[in-house]
Amino acid sequence: MTILKKPEITKVIEILAEVYPEAECALVHENTFQLLITVVLSAQTTDKSVNQISPLLFERYPDAEALASARAADLENILKRIGMYRTKAKNIIALSQTLIDEFEGHVPKDYDLLIKLPGVGRKTANVVLSVGFGVPRIAVDTHVFRLANRIGLAAEKNVLDTELALMKAIPENLWIMTHHALIMHGRNVCGAQRPGCDGCALDKLCKKNGVERKK
């Protein structure tokens, strides 16, 4: 379900595309394996924090084979600057071993296979498919969930329903762009506690979904 009408949704997307023409994944990576690992590590942690530790991580463990053989203690020492680092260390070692055992070390281009990997949920799988393989998907993280329901692109109370509402409201060829643009808008303008409505390019269209204007 959405709040905005179709012409308004079209306008919102047009504005987002104009304001953020180069919107893309903020996680630094060189291949789909690195993308998968960084997205797993980014859960409940900022992309900036992951980008700070990933160069050393991939210098020591450049592929699934190397990471699968990593000692947990050594990996934890690299990851300790990010949240839930012990659990994440365990997950990416197990994930890498699964890639070797079942996929010859390669990341599968299949949603159902991706979500079976340790530490991989719906959002992570969608990011990997869209960014790594160009498959149209809308990954709903905290920014996308907040903005979609605040602006009126969706009117839902959970992540899955928000994703389904966005998929229905937005043309499929614009899913990836809209996902990245909403994230950038959430980081740059529309904060969780203090949305910067003054000067926001979407201000006249945004329904704010009960959120008060910034005074």
Residues classed as catalytic: 123, 141
Token pair in block for residue 94: 């197990």
Cα gap 165→1, rounded to integer Å: 6
Assess contact for 124 and 40: CB atoms under 8 A.
yes
Cα gap 82→152, rounded to integer Å: 33
How far is Cα of residue 112 from the mean position of the Cα atoms in its chain?
A: 18
- Judging by beta carbons within 10 Å of its beta carbon (0-12, 13-18, 19+), is residue 110 exposed, middle or buried? middle
Assess contact for 138 and 144: CB atoms under 8 A.
yes
How far is Cα of residue 62 from the mean position of the Cα atoms in its chain?
A: 22
First CA to last CA across the chain, in angstroms? 29
Helices (H), 104-141: 111-114, 122-127, 133
Cα gap 13→174, rounded to integer Å: 8
